Structure 1
Amino acid sequence: MAILDWLPTKDRLSRFGLAVDVACLVCGSDSESRDRLFAACPFAMDVWNTVLSLCGTRCAALTWDQRLSWMVGNLKGKTFRRHLKLK
């Protein structure tokens, strides 16, 4: 659903005519969209940076599409499980 941009985000619901507050539910700023929730929101950026840091890699992508493209190109056939020390 996220890849196809079919998630019921506030910006999409608004475009369908529903009266909703479009502010991002997580940070309260900008319009809640797939890109905002998965890439542009400060909280999402912190999550991505933390997870990738734990896995010993970085990604400078700014949008969801850029991040998805990076993941497809760099993570195909790889797993981060070996990098994480889960107890």
Structure 2
Amino acid sequence: MACGTKKIKECNIRNYSIYLKKIDSKTYLFSYFEYTGNNFDADMKKMAADPNTQKWWKETDPCQLPLPDAASKNEIWSSMEEVFHTD
């Protein structure tokens, strides 16, 4: 996983966590990260172009079933609205 975490950092992602939660016999993933760069789209394209990332996604994407809002946009992850934050 070391090379994957290196690419994540190169793409200006920090404080990245993935959580697992079972609700009504369904298992959900929730991820959180902080983006520290200045061009999110460019950094995400950089990550998507990485052969190791592509290999990882090929292995893990079939395990992730998107919620309807993401599926309607042909995406895997749903965005969430932050409703509270404190430092």
TM-score (norm. length: structure 1): 0.24
Higher-Rg structure is: 1
TM-score (norm. length: structure 2): 0.24
